[in-house]
Amino acid sequence: MAVPTKNIPAPDLVPVRRALLSVFDKTGLVDFAKALAAAGVELVSTGGTATALAAAGMAVRDVSDLTGFPEIMDGRVKTLHPSVHGALLGIRDDAEHAKAMHDHNIEPIDLVVSNLYPFEEVRRSGAGYASIVENIDIGGPAMIRASAKNHAYVAIVTDPVDYASVVNALEMNLGSLSLDFRKMLAAKAFARTATYDAAISGWFAEALEIEHPTWRAFGGRLDQVMRYGENPHQDAGFYLSGDKRPGVATARQLQGKQLSYNNINDTDAAFELVGEFDPARSAVIAIIKHANPCGVAEGETLKAAYAKALACDPVSAFGGIVAMNRILDAEAAEEIVKTFTEVIIAPDATDEAAAIVAAKKNLRLLVTGGLPDPRAAGTTVKSVAGGLLVQGRDNAVVDDLELRVVTKRAPTPAELADLKFAFRVAKHVKSNAIVYAKDGATVGIGAGQMSRVDSSRIAARKALDAAEAAGLAEPLTKGSVVASDAFFPFADGLLSAIEAGATAVIQPGGSMRDEDVIAAADEHGIAMVFTGVRHFRH
């Protein structure tokens, strides 16, 4: 049954005479409460919040004085009472509501200050099931939602960041808060409880291994408003989900101007790619442009890896993103800054390296404190008209796959190492993806084409261009290996790779014409390995 509409206009200014403070995060609480008291506001509080205010020498009324009922069950039940929620939900200009408040001695509350138990932090800490459940706040969201619904009369503050603006608004309006201001606070409050509930429902689905819950929610906190999105006519903002996976969202920016929408997208792609490579095994550099790698290489040092990565496509590297799997050192930094670069992201940076990068004032330097785990489970989300596509992260790693040699000739150990390298990179190239590799470096990359043969030809063409730029007699695809993110539907893509000089191929297999492709490889003496796993990336 629908609730009848009251059609009572909300007052513009509502005097704040009584405030209820009940917070977990006590940042700035005492100073804010002192400012409220100085404005003549009566303070009502609960549990630890009341204790903190009393310890600061402030006069504070316990909520049990309003309810006539003590806090019970370890504080689980303290504000869930008609004397509290009637004070928050009552429409004061409605005669029936006003009479009910009078008859039941319900004193109106004009301002609520509440933030929530740290469910998100406890969940990320690896705490046990019972501890996580105990940190699901009930009274807080109930008060927040009640206050936000009745914003015609009640102001709700959920974020310590807003304390100063509340004090300023009270001073400007002689102890009152305006309707527009209350609406703004209410909107933020509902967004906060929605994000909180999204985290709880997401955790339950994960804990109970429910892959596709009937209702799915995602939430995040605004980190920055951007000048624009992918293009200047598009608005954009960057929201943090709270996931602590090392990457652009959790990185510390040591220097440089604000990251753009495209910077963040490309930097995420770059760092996820280098996360595929164990830093104990080799140094790896990836250069990314428009979310695709234009050069990836491993080496004894970052400097050596960067030189090999840059050689793959020095033209596209201009204005790119550089990611690495080891601490940025001075030698590598000196080489990287010679080419115009938008962002450098690394697990960390030496002081010498940071000083070298600092000479380029607009160049962003991000440090993450670690590498993303390529095997970790996770969720990716993509919006479509009218809905969301949700899937698990592609956490298949070539080292874990059962590789099957399907040709008469098996790859040599050197070829096999390059095949695995190329397949790691192909996982992070937009489909259709073709990656040529030689001696632990990409030597040609074809990305995002409608046909696989076109990707193969583009990669070979780029290798020719790079060879000309380096003054080489022939492209490095001669004697290389090639990786494909999906099966070759026809032999033409493979033949194009062979023509470019590839001697071994790694691909998922699974085409209706696999036998034709294998026969073509055998005819040309090419080794071919099937992975059984596809890496489409759209």
The catalytic residue positions are 149, 290
**Which residue intervals of 373-451 are DSSP H helices?**
413-426
Q: CA nearest 180: which of 212, 152, 143, 208?
A: 152
Q: Distance between CA atoms of 307 and 297, rounded to whole angstroms?
A: 8
What burial letters (b/e) apply to 465-503, b meaning 16+ CB within 10 Å?
bbbeeeeeeebbbbbbbbbbbbbbbebbbbbbbbebbbb
Q: CA nearest 25: which of 161, 151, 179?
A: 161
By CB atoms closer than 10 A (0-12, 13-18, 19+), residue 513 is: middle
Q: CA nearest 155: which of 36, 59, 34, 64?
A: 36
Residue 376's H or E segment, with its range, is none
Q: Distance between CA atoms of 146 and 190, rounded to whole angstroms?
A: 10
Q: Distance between CA atoms of 123 and 127, rounded to whole angstroms?
A: 6
Number of H helices, E strands in the chain: 18, 23
Place of tokens 């509340």: 166
Q: CA nearest 303: which of 274, 282, 275?
A: 282
- Maximum alpha-carbon separation in the chain: 96
Neighbour tally for 104: CB within 10 Å: 10
Q: Which two tokens stand for residue 229?
A: 């999105």
Question: Any bridge partners for residue 446, and if so which?
Answer: 434
Q: Which two tokens stand for residue 221?
A: 């906190």
Q: Distance between CA atoms of 192 and 253, rounded to whole angstroms?
A: 26
Place of tokens 């099937």: 530
Q: Which two tokens stand for residue 40?
A: 């003549």
Q: Which two tokens stand for residue 136?
A: 């699901």
Q: Position 128: which residue type?
A: G
Q: CA nearest 373: which of 349, 348, 394?
A: 394
Could you tell me what percentage of the chain is helix, strand and coil, using 3-state DSSP and rounding each to the nearest 5? 40, 20, 45
Q: CA nearest 143: which of 289, 21, 247, 324?
A: 21
Q: Distance between CA atoms of 182 and 286, rounded to whole angstroms?
A: 49
Radius of gyration of the chain (CA): 30
Q: Distance between CA atoms of 78 and 259, rounded to whole angstroms?
A: 45
Residue 46's H or E segment, with its range, is none
